[in-house]
Amino acid sequence: MLSIALVALIFTAAGTVYFFNKQHTLTTQFQSLKLIAQDIAYHDEVLTMSTLVATLDDDPRWRERYIRYEVTLDELLVRAKATDPKIARFFEETAQANDQLIAMESQAFELVSDNKRREALALLKSDKYQQYKAAFSHGLSSGINEVLTNTQFKIDENQEKRGFYLIMSMIIAFFVVLVLWYFLIRYVRLTEKAIVDIAKLDELSGLLNRREFSRIVGYEINRAYRENKILMLVILDLDEFKKYNDKYGHPAGDNVIREVGELFLSFSRRTNEYAFRTGGEEFAIVSTCSSRQEGIKFCKSLCDEVRKFNIEHANNPPRYKVTASCDIAFSTQGEKPLSMNELYSRADQALYRAKHAGKNQCAVFDDAVPVDATQNTAPNSLQN
C-alpha cells in the first residue's frame, strides 16, 4: 500500500510538472512567434521604405540598408520556421510574391543606377508591384496570425486539461491515501490485538497464562453465581515431571507440554470454556457444567487422555509412562460466591489428595476417596 500511495503521489507530481512544462513551452512559443511576426512586419516595411527612398535619393546608404534588412528578414523567416514548422507552408505560398518583389526592387535599383529615377518610381508604384506587395504582406501576416491563434487555442486547451488532470490526480491520491490510512489503522489494530494476545498466551503450550487465569476465574465465578450455574475448576498436574525433564531433557519435556496444551485446547472449544497453563507442569480448565457428575466425568477423561499419550517415563512407577493427577472443585450454587483464591485452594487440596493417593488419580474437593483415572472415562467436552 505504501508503494501504491507513492506511485499515486509520483503520478500526481509528474502530471502537474508535465502540464506546467507544456504550458510554459506553448506560452514561450506564442510569445516568440508574436515577436518574430512583429519583426517580420517591421523589416518588410523597412525594405519597402528603403527601396523607395533609395529611388528618390541617390545615396548608397539606403541600398546598403536595404541589403542588410533583406538578410535579417531571411534570418527571421528561418527562425519562424524553426519555431513552428506549420509556418513554412505559408512561406511557400508567399515565396513567389516575395521573389517577384525582390526582382522588381532590384530592377528599380538598376534603373536608379542608370539615372532613370522616374522609371524606377513608376515601377515601385505600379499595380503589379503593389499586388505582389499586398500578397506577400497579407499572406505572411495571415499565416502567422493563424499559427498564433492555434497556439493560443492549445494554451487554453492545455490549461483546461491541466486543471482536469490535476483535480483527478488529487482525487485519486486522496482515495489512495484514504485506503492506505484504513489499512494502516487496521494493521495497527491487528498488531495491537496480536500483542495483547501474545501477552495473554503461554508461548509453549498455546494456552492462556496465569495472569489471564486470575482475571477470568474471578469473572466466571460471578457470572455463574448470577446465572445460578455450577462453575468447575479442573487442575491437572503431570506426575513426576521434574524427573522426566532430568532423564529425557527439557526439549522432550517441552514436547509433552505442547501435547497437553493441544489436549486442553480440544477440551475447551465451547463458549465459556477456558484452558490455562498455570505453572511449569500445571494446567487448568474453567467452565460451567450442568451437574457435578458431569464435571467429575470430565476430570477423569483428562487424566485418561494424558495416559493415552503412551509416552515413556522410566521414573514414574508403576506405569512407567507419562501420567497426570487431576482434581476438580465446584463453586457454590445459590449461596454467596467463592473468591478466586477460595476456589483455587479447594482444587489444590483435592490435587494434594490425588498425588498422595498414588498419582494418576482424579480427586474431587470434599470427596474422601480419590478415583483411579484408569476407570470410567468420560466424553471430551461438556454440555453447558
Strand ordering across the sheet containing 230-238: 274-277, 282-289, 230-238, 324-330, 361-364, 371-372
Residue with cell 507530481: 13
SS3 of residue 370 by DSSP: coil
Helix, coil or strand: residue 238: strand
- Sequence-ordered list of residues with C-beta below 8 angstroms from that of 47, at least 6 positions apart, any chain: 66, 69, 70, 73, 105
Residues 6+ apart with CB under 8 A from 145: 37
Among 63-67, 94-98, 216-220, the range with the most confident prediction by mean pLDDT is 216-220
Closest CA to 133 of 71, 250, 60, 51: 51
Count of Cβ atoms closer than 10 Å to residue 191 Cβ: 10
What is the Cα 85 distance to its own chain's centre? 46
What distance lies between CA 60 and its chain's CA centroid? 78
Helix ranges (DSSP H) in the chain: 2-56, 60-83, 87-113, 117-124, 127-200, 210-226, 241-248, 250-266, 292-307, 340-356
User: Do residues 111 and 123 make contact, with C-beta atoms less than 8 angstroms apart?
Assistant: yes
pLDDT of 383 > 60? The answer is: no
Residue 374 has pLDDT above 50, yes or no: no
pLDDT tens profile 47-61: 778 777 777 776 778
In the predicted structure, residue 291 carries a pLDDT above the cut 50: yes
249 pLDDT tier (thresholds 50, 70, 90): very high
pLDDT mean across residues, the chain: 80
Residue 332 reports pLDDT greater than 80? no
Cis peptide bond prior to 318, omega within 30° of 0: yes
pLDDT at 17 over 80: no
Residue 18 near residue 194 (C-beta atoms within 8 A)? no
Q: Report how far apart, in Å, the C-alpha atoms of 21 and of each of 14, 85, 175 are.
A: 10, 20, 26
Between 170 and 382, the more confident residue is 170
DSSP codes of every residue in 330-368? E--SSSPPPPHHHHHHHHHHHHHHHHHTTSSEEEETT-S
d(CA 328, CA 334): 19
Dump pLDDT digits (tens) for 297-307: 999 999 999 99
Looking at residue 314, its pLDDT comes to 94
**What confidence score (pLDDT) does residue 182 get?**
83
Q: Say if residues 348 and 327 touch (Cβ distance below 8 Å).
A: yes
**What percent of the chain has pLDDT above 90?**
24
pLDDT in tens, 129-186: 888 887 777 776 676 677 677 777 777 776 666 667 677 777 777 777 788 778 888 8
Q: Is the pLDDT of residue 375 over 60?
A: no
If you average pLDDT over residues 26-47, what whole number do you get? 75
- Hey, how many other C-beta atoms are within 10 angstroms of the C-beta on 185? 10
Label residue 222 exposed, middle or buried (CB < 10 Å: 0-12, 13-18, 19+): middle
| pLDDT number for residue 320 | 92
Residue with cell 521573389: 99
